[in-house]
């Protein structure tokens, strides 16, 4: 059969040339995108009803920073999540799939410094533009629920949460060395320093001592390691969070310094290897440790001071480099190892970190690689206390860090080191010299930022009353509009007299406001909650909508947020739970991480010039083709490479689909065997339904599309071969359109209407598949001899084991391989194959 494809194909012409008016059969994607987007908006098709009785499904994708342009990476994150949310909706859920803007942050302020545009103007006009681009994707976002973090009605609740944390002892101020990004002109949290560089701008960070506000995430270290409240999170993300939290079990053990005549009478160290306590030959303090001054002998003072200053100057990178040669200084005093009464010299060295454990390390060169290197450098004794198996008593070439037998360990000699650990810890606890404990690598979350475009921290400093929180009824503390944007290293708010000067809420006297603003990760820690009641005035969330929607059922986004946003948000949830604001333990029950879309073998970036602008493709090919192509690239979690050739393939398939759906069924001729034609097409349809729905639920859009392509390929062939019936044809195309609707909402809506169906396809339910109808009538029986395929035979699906075996052994192609052989075994796999084992 020949088709006049010119009449029915999709046209990629502009809508001016091709409108639905001048030709019913020609479709312009650009025209149709707009036609249906307008219609859906007008009908409120995607507005979400809090009172809908259907089971709820809250599907969220990480909201974008309003950089001003929606690039292909945004599409890659958002189009598949939209398809998945649509799929859930078509499974009968009441779906909330909202969108908003992570609108505070540095680029807005940098634009102000560079170009004199106010951050508010810059941000809001970017949002305006991006909202339009987001709408062009054809997503089901309910724009009535949009949130913008930079607006006072949002950030006042950041301040409100901060005050609750302050009251609960979860927010505190401390003077501490902090990571300073000289380019961003602000401090950063530990999570925002990647390999010693700023997470945003990649500039090397330095250290700066400042008064800073912290949130006490360490209080939740143990609970954050417990992922049992999550339904489905990637193991990788859980591993990254576990790594970051860095739990290690060990013992606190103190060394006696009572002979020094100080107020302090002991040095507390943390060790995971208490079994090696008899091998201590030195103790190391972190250079910044407060006891350093007190313990330094006068004759060493100069040398120690020089070392401390040099250590402070070092950047994070220099200091943490593992291959760096050990440095340090003997400070001229000693402590006593209480277990054996030995006198132990005290050093300072920068490999001891003030912020981990107690800031003091017991040096056991025989059994720790770092201590070994230090001992070599300073010619300190290496005392073996854990004998390796078959140890001959010689000196060690390197540290023996594995297990062994306790030696030179007093009463513990002869125990295995495992037993030694327990016995020594018991003994120490009994003597009151220390106790078993757990140490974590994670530090409290530093939220102060010395920048303008963020949430003002609602704190007032009064000379008489000290630190005074702003009272709740005075919120929000508004960002002043008229700030001077100068990169001074201090918040621009400090130079704004009108903002800075205020009166003390306690005594009414003159006082000054905190001028730092909050890390923007505070905004994203609870934004998912605000979507449920974006304009609620009495609290961050309406308790009614909270109970209805939260927690989030499915969250999607990039893995780069594993130890930043995702960890902060989990902490935030647990903290506000303990304050009594929510009653669940985890904010995001299921998490799926999409990969990265690349182009020309590299991440897209302006400097590489390999950036793909989606608008051009949307304009030419329509949103559905771009959506479909992005989902067809490969498995969503593995990312993929953009190719222009590839997207044309997707456009071609939509073209063929359009052709198939718009064929006139009245021209179908009588087929010789209508029952068989009907059964065959129906069978493939039901197999396709099964595959597509399984694939959607696992985010395998690529194979779902492949299944639908196989179906259209079959249909085109069957039509040409006169092997279709009107009824199966019609029912197959309407089911196919429903299956495809989550990926391609516009084309399917248009074709659905053209078939004469009731508006809207997006209110249809996903079809069920029928096991019997999907059942094969014939199968290909594979016949192997010793595991090698020798024949493939079409047989009835109902074939019995005996029948299959005899068909296999009697195959003409197989017989030569059986000649003169003994059949040892016949393996039968029902519905699949027979393997004849011969020798």
DSSP per residue over 221-235, as a string? HHHHT--TT-SB--H
Of 137, 122, 54, nearest in space to 92 by CA: 54
| Distance separating alpha carbons of residues 836 and 805, to the nearest angstrom | 9
Per CB under 7 A, contacts with RNA among 273-302 are 273, 286
Of 96-104, 139-147, 387-395, 630-638, the segment contacting RNA by CB under 7 A is 630-638
Which phi and psi (to 5°) does residue 76 adopt? -65, -35
Spatial distance between the Cα atoms of 133 and 141, rounded to a whole number of angstroms: 13
Helix, strand, coil percentages (3-state) for the chain, rounded to 5, are 40, 20, 40
Candidate list 168, 225, 559, 755; residue touching RNA; CB under 7 A: 559
Residue with smaller CB distance to RNA, 140 or 783: 783
Q: Rule CB under 7 A: is residue 656 a binding residue for RNA?
A: yes
CB of 265 to RNA, least distance (A): 20
Cα 141 to Cα 154: distance, rounded to the nearest angstrom: 19
Least distance from C-beta 500 to RNA, angstroms? 36
Return the exposure string of 28-56: e unless at least 16 CB atoms fall within 10 Å of the residue's CB, then b.
bbbbbbebbbeebeeeebbebeeeeeeeb
Closer to RNA by CB, 707 or 766: give it.
707
Closest C-alpha to 686, from 777, 770, 779: 770
**Contact region with RNA (CB under 7 A), list: 29-37, 266-274, 665-673, 756-764:** 266-274
**Residues 564-623 within binding reach of RNA (CB under 7 A):** none
Binding-site string for RNA from residue 9 to residue 38, where x marks contact by CB under 7 A and - marks none: x-----------------------------
CB of 417 to RNA, least distance (A): 13
Give min distance, CB of 45 to RNA, in A: 30
Residue 368 interacts with RNA (CB under 7 A): yes or no: yes
Strands 788-796 and 434-439: unpaired
d(CA 528, CA 546): 10
From the CB of 368, what's the least distance to RNA, in Å? 5
The single residue among 243, 310, 613, 722 that binds RNA, judged by CB under 7 A, is 243
Q: Output the six-digit token pair for 633.
A: 């690239």
Count of residues touching RNA (by CB under 7 A): 92
From residue 702, alpha-carbon distances to 382, 596, 629, 661, 744 in Å are 60, 15, 9, 22, 13
Choose the binding region for RNA from 210-218, 423-431, 620-628, 824-832 (rule: CB under 7 A): 824-832
Select the residue interacting with RNA from 645, 672, 756, 820 (CB under 7 A). Answer: 645
> Is residue 116 within the footprint of RNA (CB under 7 A)?
no
Q: Cα 94 to chain center, whole Å?
A: 25
Q: Is 638 in the site for RNA (CB under 7 A)?
A: yes
What token pair was written down for 480?
């002043």
107 binds RNA (CB under 7 A): no
CB 723 within 8 A of CB 671: yes
CA distance 588 to 557: 12
CB nearer RNA, residue 121 or residue 402: 402
Closer Cβ to RNA, 488 or 775, answer by number: 775
Report, in Å, the least distance between residue 278 CB and RNA: 15
Residue 604 CA, chain-centre distance (Å), reads 20
- Joined tokens for residue 308: 């401390």
Binding to RNA in span 208-237, by CB under 7 A? 235-236
Contact 527, 146 (CB under 8 A): no
* Both structure tokens of 583: 């009653």
Residues 361, 352 contacting (CB under 8 angstroms): yes
Residue 359 within binding range of RNA, rule CB under 7 A: yes
Residue whose entry in the numeric block shows the structure tokens 């489905």: 232
Is 830 a residue that touches RNA (CB under 7 A)? no
**Which of 225, 668, 716, 818 forms a contact with RNA (CB under 7 A)?**
716
Q: Output 196 or 480, the one with its CB closest to RNA.
A: 196
User: At closest approach, how far in Å is the CB of 128 from RNA?
Assistant: 33
Q: Residues 764 to 803: which contact RNA by CB under 7 A?
A: 780, 782, 784, 786-790, 792
Residue 454: name the closest of 158, 99, 113, 112 by CA. Answer: 158
Query: What residues numbered 521-540 form the site for RNA, per CB under 7 A?
Result: none
DSSP state of 511: E
Contact pattern from residue 411 through residue 440 relative to RNA, giving x for each residue in contact according to CB under 7 A and a dash for the rest: ----------------------------x-
Stretch that binds RNA, among 165-173, 385-393, 519-527, 637-645 (CB under 7 A): 637-645
Q: Among residues 614, 627, 634, which one has the least CA distance to residue 747?
A: 627
Binding test (CB under 7 A) with RNA, winner from 376, 673, 713, 800: 713
CB of 122 to RNA, least distance (A): 29
- Judge whether 283 and 259 are in contact, CB under 8 Å: no
Site for RNA in 804-823 (CB under 7 A): 813
- Comparing CA positions, the residue from 602, 595, 597, 656 lying closest to residue 629 is 597
Near RNA in 147-206, by CB under 7 A: 194-195
324 binds RNA (CB under 7 A): yes
* Strand 778-785 to 833-838 pairing: parallel
Q: Which stretch binds RNA (CB under 7 A): 32-40, 361-369, 403-411, 519-527?
A: 361-369
Question: Considering only residues 673-702, where is the footprint of RNA by CB under 7 A?
Answer: 700, 702
């Amino acid at each position: 059969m020949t088709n006049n494809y010119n009449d029915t194909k999709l046209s990629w012409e502009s809508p001016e040339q091709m409108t639905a008016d001048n030709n019913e059969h020609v479709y312009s994607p650009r025209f149709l995108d707009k036609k249906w987007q307008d219609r859906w908006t007008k009908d409120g098709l995607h507005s979400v009803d809090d009172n809908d009785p259907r089971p709820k499904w809250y599907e969220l994708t990480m909201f974008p920073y309003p950089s001003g342009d929606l690039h292909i990476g945004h599409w890659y994150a958002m189009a598949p999540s939209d398809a998945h949310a649509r799929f859930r909706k078509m499974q009968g859920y009441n779906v909330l799939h909202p969108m908003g803007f992570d609108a505070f942050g540095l680029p807005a302020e940098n634009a102000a410094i560079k170009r004199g545009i106010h951050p508010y103007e810059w941000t809001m006009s970017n949002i305006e533009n991006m909202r339009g681009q987001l709408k062009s994707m054809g997503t089901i976002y309910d724009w009535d629920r949009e949130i913008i973090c930079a607006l006072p009605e949002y950030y006042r609740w950041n301040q409100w949460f901060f005050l609750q944390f302050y009251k609960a002892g979860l927010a505190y101020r401390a003077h501490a060395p902090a990571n300073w990004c000289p380019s961003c002109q602000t401090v950063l949290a530990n999570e925002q320093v990647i390999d010693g560089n700023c997470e945003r701008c990649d500039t090397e960070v330095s250290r700066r001592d400042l008064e800073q506000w912290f949130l006490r995430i360490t209080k939740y270290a143990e609970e954050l390691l417990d992922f049992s409240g999550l339904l489905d999170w990637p193991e990788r993300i859980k591993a990254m969070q576990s790594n970051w939290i860095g739990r290690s079990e060990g013992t606190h053990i103190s060394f006696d310094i009572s002979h020094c005549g100080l107020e302090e009478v002991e040095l507390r160290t943390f060790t995971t290897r208490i079994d090696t306590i008899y091998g201590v030959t030195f103790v190391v303090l972190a250079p910044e440790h407060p006891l350093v001054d007190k313990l330094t002998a006068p004759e060493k003072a100069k040398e120690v001071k020089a070392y401390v200053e040099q250590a402070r100057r070092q950047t994070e990178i220099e200091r943490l480099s593992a291959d760096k040669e050990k440095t340090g200084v003997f400070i001229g005093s000693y402590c006593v190892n209480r277990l054996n009464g030995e006198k132990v010299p005290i050093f300072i060295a920068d490999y001891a970190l003030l912020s981990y454990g107690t800031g003091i390390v017991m040096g056991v060169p025989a059994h720790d690689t770092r201590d070994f290197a230090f001992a070599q450098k300073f010619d300190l004794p290496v005392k073996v206390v854990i004998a390796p198996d078959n140890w001959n008593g010689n000196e060690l070439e390197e540290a023996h860090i594995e297990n062994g037998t306790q030696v030179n360990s007093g009463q513990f000699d002869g125990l295995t080191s495992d037993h030694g650990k327990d016995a020594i810890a018991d003994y120490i606890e009994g003597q009151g010299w220390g106790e078993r404990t757990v140490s974590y690598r994670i530090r409290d979350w530093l939220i102060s930022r010395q920048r303008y475009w963020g949430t003002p921290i609602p704190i007032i400093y009064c000379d008489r009353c000290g630190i005074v929180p702003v009272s709740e009824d005075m919120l929000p503390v508004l960002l002043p509009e008229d700030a001077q944007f100068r990169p001074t290293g201090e918040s621009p708010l400090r130079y704004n007299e009108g903002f800075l000067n205020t009166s003390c809420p306690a005594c009414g006297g003159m006082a000054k406001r905190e001028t730092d603003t909050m890390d923007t990760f505070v905004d994203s820690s609870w934004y998912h909650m605000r979507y449920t009641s974006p304009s609620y005035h009495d609290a961050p969330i309406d308790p009614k909508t909270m109970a209805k929607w939260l927690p989030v059922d499915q969250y999607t986004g990039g893995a780069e947020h594993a130890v930043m946003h995702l960890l902060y948000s989990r902490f935030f949830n647990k903290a506000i739970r303990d304050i009594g604001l929510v009653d669940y333990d985890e904010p995001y029950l299921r998490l799926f991480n999409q990969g990265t879309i690349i182009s020309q073998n590299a991440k897209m970036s302006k400097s590489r010039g390999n950036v793909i602008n989606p608008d051009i493709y949307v304009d030419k090919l329509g949103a559905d083709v771009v959506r479909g192509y992005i989902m067809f690239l490969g498995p969503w979690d593995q990312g993929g490479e953009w190719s222009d050739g590839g997207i044309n393939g997707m456009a071609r398939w939509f073209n063929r689909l359009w052709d198939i759906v718009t064929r006139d069924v009245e021209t179908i001729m009588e087929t010789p065997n209508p029952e068989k034609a009907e059964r065959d097409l129906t069978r493939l349809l039901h197999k396709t339904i099964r595959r597509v729905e399984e694939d959607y639920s696992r985010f395998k859009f690529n194979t779902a599309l492949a299944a639908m392509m196989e179906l259209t390929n079959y249909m085109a062939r069957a039509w040409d071969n006169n092997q279709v019936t009107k009824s199966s044809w019609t029912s197959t195309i309407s089911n196919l359109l429903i299956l495809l609707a989550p990926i391609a909402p516009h084309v399917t809506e248009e074709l659905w209407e053209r078939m004469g169906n009731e508006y809207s396809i997006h209110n249809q339910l996903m079809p069920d598949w029928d096991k019997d109808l999907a059942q094969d009538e014939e199968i290909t029986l594979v016949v192997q001899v010793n595991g090698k395929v020798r024949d493939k035979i079409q047989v009835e699906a109902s074939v019995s084991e005996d029948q299959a075996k005899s068909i296999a052994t009697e195959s003409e192609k197989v017989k030569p391989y059986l000649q003169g052989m003994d059949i040892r075994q016949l393996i039968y796999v029902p519905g699949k194959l027979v393997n004849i084992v011969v020798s």
